[in-house]
Structure 1
C-alpha cells in the first residue's frame, strides 16, 4: 500500500504492530492543538497568555487542558517562578525534540497539500477563493 513499505516484511503481525504504534502516537498527539502548541513553544519558554496569542483562536480552557496533557506526556514543563507576582512559564522538554522529524514532515506535507488543493480547486463565478481549505 505504501511505496516505502517492504512487501517481504508486510505480515499481518507487522501490520497490527504498525496500526498500534500509529494509534499510540495519535492518542498522545490527538486534536488540532498539541502539535501547533509544541511549535509555538519551539523558540523558547512562554507564559500562558503569550501561548494563547501565538495560537490564535484557542480558548483558555482548551489551552489549559492541552498544556496539562502535554505535561503528563513529558513534552512540556510548567515552571512557577518566584517573582512578584508569581509567573508561570511553559517550556519544551528535551523529549519534545523526538517530534522534530514528525513536525517537519507534517509542515512539508501541509504546504504541498494546500498548494495541490488550491491549484486544483475550480473557482465558481461570484464566489471568492478563500484561504481556508
Structure 2
C-alpha cells in the first residue's frame, strides 16, 4: 500500500481501489465511495465520509468498526438480512434494513444527488438525507 501511495505521488497515478477493509480504505483513499448491493450510495472526501456520513448504510457500516475506546459498549447492528441481489426489493435496496425508511423508500429508487455536508459537496442516494442528522 505504501509503495502504491509513493508511486501515486511520484508519477501522479490515480487508483480505483476496492476493498471491504475500511482501515485500508481510510489509509489509501482521498475520496471514498460506499456501495450497497452493487449500487453506489455515497461518495465523499475521506475525512468527511468517515467523520460525518450521510447515508444510513454508511453510518451503520462505520458504527460497526471495532473501537478500543468502546470496549464493553453495545455496538449498533444492521437489522435484517441482505436482500437477494438477483431479486432486489423495489425502491431503495437498503429500505428493508434502514432505520429511517419511509413509504417513498419502498417505491422509488433514490438517485445520487449532490448535497452540502460540513462545507463540502458530497453525493448521496437517499430520500431521508436532509430530513435527519446523526
TM-score with structure 2 length normalisation? 0.24
More helix by share: 1
The structure with higher relative contact order (CA 8 Å, sep 6+) is 2
TM-score with structure 1 length normalisation? 0.24
Greater Cα radius of gyration, structure 1 or 2: 1
